[in-house]
Structure 1
Amino acid sequence: MNLSSHLVQRMLHLGPPLTRDLSVTHDLRVPMRDGAVLLADRWAPKSGGAGLPTALIRVPYGRAGATAGPMARPLAERGFQVLIQSTRGTFGSDGPFDPLRREREDGLDTVEWVLKQAWFGESMILWGASYLGFVQWAIADSLPPQVKAMIPVVTESALTLDFLRADAFSLETPFGWAVQVAGQERPFAMPRAMLGAKKVQRALHTLPLNQADLAAIGHRDDYIQNILDHDSEAPFWKALDHRDRVTDVEVPVSSVAGWHDIFLPGQLRDFRVLQEAGRTARLTVGPWAHTSLGVGGVAFAEAVGFGLALARGEQPAERAPVRLFVMGEEKWRDFSSWPPPGYEPRRFHLQPRGTLSPSVPEAAPPDRYRYDPADPTPAVGGVRMAFGVKNGRVDNKDLEARRDVLTYTTALLDEDVEVIGDVSAEIFFRSSLPYADVFVRLCDVDAEGRSTNVCDGLTSLTDADRTTRANVQLWPTAYRFKAGHRIRVQISSGAFPRYNRNPGTGEPRATATGLRGAEQQVFHDPDHPSAIVLPVRQVPAARGT
């Protein structure tokens, strides 16, 4: 009995395989146009593997052990032969590893090589999550007809660029990822990473930030220095921005995303571009963060139900283009598009005394709080990817008890309120300093008073010492607020270390050393009608609730 096969099947809630009897050919040499050689392993059934549809997986995290097995094995057991390749500069492939930059050329060269192999049949799919999905987008507009489907999972066509926005620098994820890959080829890399999680979190407090890599790993790291030195719009990142290729993608695409995933906004953008261009595309979004196990099960189901069917010249089972898990209701629902029709933007205004309602606020003085970057407002749950931290929906009690967090809450809801689509906020704000952040979080307060986060977002201001309308784009969501619950909005000036703390000095993020506390004001009056804007459909409450 193949224990690992049974374990993966149970963990991912997969159906039984066609076979558990696999063979693996290691260290296939795949030549690139510049003479570099990338190594790959081929997984296939021991009997009848040649000629099966090929699933191509290109990965920077290694082809052996716990990394490769849970990816390659389930596909090779269920109708594919699988080629899993180490990207340039990783795990035996010629280097160096220059994250994200060489995946177009190397990906196209790899596809061309696969088509020439004696074991290749007539069809191929591209599959993978995160970086493994980005490498699909890098070549998606130039695929040969033998490629029948793409299945990009918790990923998007520009990957890390949204983290590097000048108006919302997301520090934790790219820094933590860089630390992870810097040590991933050392013995016992995963235990080391888990044991070193607190050290990495402490390093994020380093001033100046361009010394944080020394604090975390003991040496300079080019990728960390680059994310600190170059905003997302800098020409430096042009080679890894594939957003303009999406509209030209002709291969069918099935995207799998999560409501608390770090790449969700970009992934929904990519899907919308495909749908508006009339391409064959479908989307599944579940209640997941980036590393949730549920993502893997659905991703493999799409590989078989969508990818394998197309690779065999068949049509996948019919379903709606968009399948969303509606949180709060805790049910899967089907829709025709993203965003779905029938959800109209509705403004819920901040009111005096911490209330929230659709009414325009009456005249009232602003609410105030002090933000101290030496004790920054912490990130709690939500969109996070780091060892040792909670993500997704969590209790916000301790966060909301802080003096640097304001809350605004509706009365008890008479009816269910369903929010599906893009969420934004317009907050009239003023600081004692020109440089400040505005963080907005949407929460659900249940009948027992427990406040649980739904989605959130942050924007940085450079003219905050005058009254300014801060436009904050929150994460998209699908959530039903039940009758008897309340809708709550949090306002603060940070979520550290998910977002870099604003030092208040205006210094460049890489070299800032000063920390200045600030007095913040949030306005809610007829001239300054601060509000969260929710795409809403009201739903009559079920009888007996």
Structure 2
Amino acid sequence: MEVVLDRIADRVLGLPRAEGPAPEVTKDLRVPMPDGVVLLADRYAPPVTGPAPVVLIRTPYGKGTALGKLFATIFSRHGLQTVVQSTRGTFGSGGEFRPFHTEREDGLATAEWLRAQPWCDGRLAMAGASYLGHTQWAVGPYLDPPLEAMCLAVTASEFVSAFYPGGVLAADNMVSWSAQIGRQELPLAQFPNPVQTRRNRRAMAGLPIAGADVAAIGKPVRFLQDVTAHAEPGDDYWAMSDHRAVVSTLDTPVSMVTGWYDLFITAQLRDFRALADAGKSPRITIGPWSHGEPASIRTLLQDQIGFLAAHLDGDRTQLRRSPVRLFLQGANTWLDFDQWPPESTATDAHLRPLGRLGDAVDRDTPPDTFTYDPADPTPAVGGPLLTGKAKQRDNTAVEARPDVLVFTGEPLEHDLDVLGDVGATVHVRTDLGHADVYVRLCDVDRDGVSRNVTDGILRLRPGAPEAGADGVVTAEVALDPTGYRFRRGHRLRVQVAGGAFPRFARNHGTGEPVAAAVDGKPCRFEIFHDAAHPSKITLPVFTG
């Protein structure tokens, strides 16, 4: 029966059928760390004679949980000796789990231990997604001799930009993940729990945000305390987790998978480009997915198994593809390119009076205004979320609010492909100085339904950026990159608001640190779009 189920799994996942006996599993290998802590690992050994290469997966989510077993079992059934290790302080491994703090030291010690084992031939590779990708970046650039391959899915060389995008605490994602890791070792914690989900959402709305962990799961979570306490500018607390400086030095072959609605996509594409610019040969696949979406697992496993087989077993078949493979949303098609971003034409769409969006700049028009109230924060709809209703959603309700400005273009005469990095320049004056500028690009279909494509946020503080003599600040807002076809007859729409809650923590308007802030002040915005202040969104238009 087990063989039949394995063959069904291979067929569903689009993998070649694995032949031969089932892997031999050795549980709870004890791996010593330099400080005396012992981490536990399971070894999945295919039926081979003599020492063989090892694929290392380091996970905080449990080596014996369903996902850990899934990857290790499938890898080993396809001939890849795999070791899955529970990171420090999780699922039986010793020490305290302080996310991102000791992954370099623990990872390097684990690699040294593996290379000393009689069943390892000295060759190591690493694989995994999300935090499991962070554990790879914490090892790969520093290991000598280097890894044979790294398989990096929905991850990046640094996570801080995802903690605080545009300088704003990503409240929804941070509270959701904190609640997950805070209760993940409880019975049945791996299964959906609507009651817990509702508690998490109530906790996000509570103040101060530093208390959301206790509100959500009834106890403190060290990670949420860390991430809220170190959210202010100039804090280098997370330096130990930032590996951007060594990305270009990496000599290990790299394969990446991500999605257009993944919270790490901007950082992951930055890593890809840094490797490519340094003369390496990374490859990446970008699909129409959010973070950890089940629909992405098939592609992820195919990518990682094929890449590992190429570099550990010499099967080069899976390397015969373009460096960049991406899904063009709206066109429902996959495209191949030699580089990221593909060549495109930077095209400006200007914010105009009366809620219009177009090529021209009006010479002398008054600004549009709205008031953002932290007591009734502008709600978030869809986007790159870890939990809840992510990706594209109907924005009709939020666009009807008085604290959201909407600028809409004319119906398109032809399909418009936007492919690459998107940015917005918004000329804004606020009465408090402490404010956020949130910009979202939407696709309005022929029925008038507005759906989000990409967005970004920027926190303003007095003097950062510097205001002009008229008090107007030029806010340069980076939106996430996208690959999207706006269909003929559809219209482009740009939203401008003072936040998107609870995805981003509310701006209290007081300058008080986000961890402790409770009180707030309404903030009046003026959005300028005259000849002296040409607010716009800049789109990378691809003509193929």
Quick check: 1:58 aligned with 2:65?
no
Query: What letter matches 1:323 in structure 2?
Result: R
Kindly indicate whether the alpha-carbon contact (under 8 Å) linking 1:122 and 1:146 is maintained by their aligned counterparts in 2: no
Separation of aligned partners in 1, 2:172 and 2:101? 21
Query: What letter matches 1:456 in structure 2?
Result: D
Kindly indicate whether the alpha-carbon contact (under 8 Å) linking 2:140 and 2:147 is maintained by their aligned counterparts in 1: no
Q: Decide whether aligned partners of structure 1 residues 524 and 227 sit closer, same or farther in structure 2, where only a CA change above 3 A counts.
A: same
- The runs of 5 or more residues in structure 2 that have no matched partner are none
Quick check: 1:391 aligned with 2:427?
no
Q: What residue in structure 2 maps to residue 474 of structure 1? A: 479
Look up the SS of the partner of 2:98 in the other structure: coil
CA displacement at 1:175 relative to structure 2 = 2.1
Query: What letter matches 2:540 in structure 1?
Result: P
Kindly indicate whether the alpha-carbon contact (under 8 Å) linking 2:11 and 2:17 is maintained by their aligned counterparts in 1: no
Quick check: 1:442 aligned with 2:447?
no
Look up the SS of the partner of 2:187 in the other structure: coil
Separation of aligned partners in 1, 2:294 and 2:471? 46
| Deviation per residue, 1:467-519 (Å, 9 max, x gap) | 21111110011111122111111111111111101112221111111122222
CA displacement at 1:8 relative to structure 2 = 4.6
CA displacement at 1:195 relative to structure 2 = 2.8
TM-score, normalised to structure 1's length? 0.93
Quick check: 1:500 aligned with 2:505?
yes
Q: What residue in structure 2 maps to residue 137 of structure 1? A: 137
Q: Decide whether aligned partners of structure 1 residues 159 and 445 sit closer, same or farther in structure 2, where only a CA change above 3 A counts.
A: same
Kindly indicate whether the alpha-carbon contact (under 8 Å) linking 1:415 and 1:538 is maintained by their aligned counterparts in 2: no
TM-score, normalised to structure 2's length? 0.94
Separation of aligned partners in 2, 1:100 and 1:240? 5
| Deviation per residue, 1:279-303 (Å, 9 max, x gap) | 1211111111101123322221122
Q: What residue in structure 2 maps to residue 103 of structure 1? A: 103
Separation of aligned partners in 2, 1:20 and 1:522? 67
Kindly indicate whether the alpha-carbon contact (under 8 Å) linking 2:140 and 2:146 is maintained by their aligned counterparts in 1: no
Q: Decide whether aligned partners of structure 1 residues 379 and 14 sit closer, same or farther in structure 2, where only a CA change above 3 A counts.
A: farther
Kindly indicate whether the alpha-carbon contact (under 8 Å) linking 2:165 and 2:457 is maintained by their aligned counterparts in 1: no
Kindly indicate whether the alpha-carbon contact (under 8 Å) linking 2:25 and 2:43 is maintained by their aligned counterparts in 1: yes
- The runs of 5 or more residues in structure 1 that have no matched partner are 540-545
1:168-179 counterparts in 2 under 5 A? 168-179=168-179
Kindly indicate whether the alpha-carbon contact (under 8 Å) linking 1:140 and 1:245 is maintained by their aligned counterparts in 2: no
Q: What residue in structure 1 maps to residue 75 of structure 2? A: 75
Query: What letter matches 1:139 in structure 2?
Result: V
Deviates more, 1:462-471 or 1:275-284: 462-471
Kindly indicate whether the alpha-carbon contact (under 8 Å) linking 1:393 and 1:453 is maintained by their aligned counterparts in 2: yes
Kindly indicate whether the alpha-carbon contact (under 8 Å) linking 1:52 and 1:79 is maintained by their aligned counterparts in 2: no
Q: What residue in structure 1 maps to residue 34 of structure 2? A: 33
Separation of aligned partners in 2, 1:450 and 1:15? 42
Separation of aligned partners in 1, 2:211 and 2:166? 20
Separation of aligned partners in 2, 1:210 and 1:162? 18
Q: Decide whether aligned partners of structure 1 residues 71 and 29 sit closer, same or farther in structure 2, where only a CA change above 3 A counts.
A: same
Look up the SS of the partner of 2:40 in the other structure: strand
Look up the SS of the partner of 1:141 in the other structure: helix
Separation of aligned partners in 2, 1:127 and 1:444? 36
Q: What residue in structure 1 maps to residue 408 of structure 2? A: 409
Separation of aligned partners in 2, 1:254 and 1:437? 36
Q: What residue in structure 1 maps to residue 292 of structure 2? A: 291
CA displacement at 1:361 relative to structure 2 = 2.3
Quick check: 1:157 aligned with 2:157?
yes
Query: What letter matches 2:342 in structure 1?
Result: P
Look up the SS of the partner of 2:48 in the other structure: coil
Separation of aligned partners in 1, 2:394 and 2:49? 49
Query: What letter matches 2:541 in structure 1?
Result: V
Q: What residue in structure 1 maps to residue 88 of structure 2? A: 88
Query: What letter matches 1:483 in structure 2?
Result: R
Deviates more, 1:187-196 or 1:269-278: 187-196
Separation of aligned partners in 2, 1:237 and 1:217? 25
Separation of aligned partners in 2, 1:491 and 1:20? 59
Look up the SS of the partner of 1:476 in the other structure: strand
Look up the SS of the partner of 1:72 in the other structure: helix
Q: What residue in structure 1 maps to residue 43 of structure 2? A: 42
Q: What residue in structure 2 maps to residue 523 of structure 1? A: 528
Separation of aligned partners in 2, 1:85 and 1:393? 35
Identity %: 44
Q: What residue in structure 1 maps to residue 206 of structure 2? A: 206
CA displacement at 1:6 relative to structure 2 = 5.5
Query: What letter matches 1:328 in structure 2?
Result: G
Separation of aligned partners in 1, 2:13 and 2:373? 44
Separation of aligned partners in 1, 2:178 and 2:50? 38
Q: What residue in structure 1 maps to residue 327 of structure 2? A: 325
Q: What residue in structure 1 maps to residue 495 of structure 2? A: 490
1:216-235 counterparts in 2 under 5 A? 216-231=216-231, 233-235=234-236
CA displacement at 1:196 relative to structure 2 = 0.6
- Across the two proteins, how many residue pairs are aligned to each other? 535
Kindly indicate whether the alpha-carbon contact (under 8 Å) linking 1:12 and 1:293 is maintained by their aligned counterparts in 2: no
